[in-house]
Amino acid sequence: MRTPEQYRAGLAKMRPNLYIGGEKVGRDDPRILPGVNVMATTFEIAQDPRWKGVATATSSLSGHEINRWAHTPQHPFDLMQKQKMIRLGAQRVGGCIQRCMGHDAITSLSIGTKEIDDKYGTEYHRRFCDWLTWYQDKDYCAACAQTDMKGDRTKRPSEQVEPGQYVHIDEVTDKGIYVSGCKVCITMAAYADEILVLPTRAMMETDADWAVAFAIPGDDPGIKQVVRPVWLHERKEIEAPFCNFGVSDSMIIFDHTFVPKERVFMCREWEFGRRLAMLFADSHRHSYCGCKPAVSDVILGATLLAADANNISKVSHVREKMSAFALNSELAFAAGVAAAMYGEKTACGTFFPNTIFANVGRRLMGENIYHEYNMLTEIAGGLSVTMPFEEDFINPETKPYMDKYIVRNPKLSAEESHRIWRFVENVSASAMTSWYQIAGVHGGGSPIMETIALNIDFDYEARRKVARYLAGIDKELDQSKELTRQPTFGCNLMEPEEFGDA
């Protein structure tokens, strides 16, 4: 497995194809460094013996020890370890660990390619497994480019005035395919080795050219990435780990870009557009059941520090709000564990989380994201947006006043108080705050998509039957299979001793 230094050295060798603020830049541009630091952390964690079995896994393809981010889950325990890895890693970087999307794309392609092959006798699954074995052995990281620009939301891909609103196939040759179009909001693509391109929606036969999935190097000469980095205001003296991290999202432009055949995993099988899109989204919502509790942990941590600084930690309305944080994050985490326990073994061997539990866990956190920031703001007061700059805490003319008046709780020093309020500012009132709020609502699909996913899979009829029986309309009660189903854990897919201490 690669060390963080090897990952960074790999970036340095990549062809510059990033555009930021009107300039063409390489992967050494300081504006993407905060995001690179997040990605490097995922390599660092895998090297740490304390994280063995959590951040590492045994490849189902090669039998080698690999970074868990490159692993396709094989049983419920794998899914639970993934959730744990995400939460632990995300706490360390103060939020999004950014590698879930690539992992979820791998999961969805492993299942989707097998299903396409089973129907059409194609060879996508073999190609994908070859690519994945190579990817695991290289210990690469991947972004997932699913979201298309989408143009007019009321029109299908084939109905758009500009066909590139959705990435599509221009031409198919013996050697591969040529694609054009634009993907947007693609997190960490600027510092990913590979980009996995997936369809974003259900297709009809007229949309067949838009039904395409493939892998492409992040620095492929055929693509341009127009990148928007987000990072925190740099600190002058009071450095803190939280300030080292940030994120970048890319618009990825394909302009008659060649993709070799061996990297193409779907080519015009339009009936599978929806399936691949949903496999990614549902796997991603399971990942959220590890990530969003970690984001909540960070906001709660900031809230606790703000309460300490204001010396109101024991006040009843503060304690009430603390328990509201605990309720959200642990229910979402528990939904992820339930999704793992009640998941299913798919035909290709990949173990897939239960979609109901994954969706309700994600939805709970999405609905509460602004509420969590609101609780922090209520407890912190207005200083998070009105505090003078750090330089004014350094300038000898103002420093004595700053140091004297920043202290509200006599148990805290001036520096501790200043650090707390700077952290609260960073968490609750920075460019990163807005990123997390909007990611909380839209990441993994807009809220309506969770409603759609739930309405597809949730057994509403079973609840109607319960009510009909209780109301005396029906004489017998035919109870929902979902309530009588055994968790997969009981089906010998996972030996209890595998739980170990990890």
Provide the binding-site residues for ligand FAD, judged by CB under 6 A. 101, 143-147, 150, 153-154, 185-187, 249, 435, 438-439, 442-446, 448
Smallest distance, Å, CB 149 to ligand FAD? 8
Smallest distance, Å, CB 158 to ligand FAD? 14
H helices then E strands: how many in the chain? 16, 14
Residue 186 or residue 259: which is nearer to ligand FAD going by CB? 186
Q: Count Cβ atoms below 10 Å from residue 241 Cβ, excluding itself.
A: 10
Residue 191 or residue 489: which is nearer to ligand FAD going by CB? 191
Residue 211 or residue 337: which is nearer to ligand FAD going by CB? 211
Smallest distance, Å, CB 142 to ligand FAD? 10
Residue 53 or residue 181: which is nearer to ligand FAD going by CB? 181
Residue 143 or residue 340: which is nearer to ligand FAD going by CB? 143
Q: Please, which residues have CB within 8 angstroms of residue 22's CB and are 6 or more apart in sequence?
A: none
Smallest distance, Å, CB 277 to ligand FAD? 10
Residue 217 or residue 349: which is nearer to ligand FAD going by CB? 217
Alpha carbon distance 145, 168 (integer Å): 13
What tokens does 471 get? 């109301």
What tokens does 355 get? 């979609």
Please report, in angstroms and rounded to a whole number, the separation of the first and last CA atoms in the chain. 20
Residue 395 or residue 434: which is nearer to ligand FAD going by CB? 434
Distance of CA 448 to the CA centre of its chain: 18
Nearest to 165 by CA among 153, 178, 148, 177: 148
Smallest distance, Å, CB 443 to ligand FAD? 5
Smallest distance, Å, CB 144 to ligand FAD? 5
Smallest distance, Å, CB 250 to ligand FAD? 9
Strands 247-260 and 18-20 turn out to be unpaired
Smallest distance, Å, CB 446 to ligand FAD? 4
What tokens does 294 get? 């970690």
Smallest distance, Å, CB 241 to ligand FAD? 22
Alpha carbon distance 212, 192 (integer Å): 20
Residue 185 or residue 379: which is nearer to ligand FAD going by CB? 185
Residue 336 or residue 444: which is nearer to ligand FAD going by CB? 444
Q: What is the DSSP letter of 315?
A: S
Alpha carbon distance 28, 12 (integer Å): 7
Alpha carbon distance 339, 79 (integer Å): 9
363 three-state secondary structure: helix
**Rounded to the nearest 10 degrees, how much is the dihedral formed by the CA atoms of 281, 282, 286, 292?**
40
Alpha carbon distance 423, 146 (integer Å): 33
Q: Supply φ then ψ for residue 66, to 5 degrees.
A: -135, 165
**Rounded to the nearest 10 degrees, how much is the dihedral formed by the CA atoms of 177, 180, 184, 187?**
30
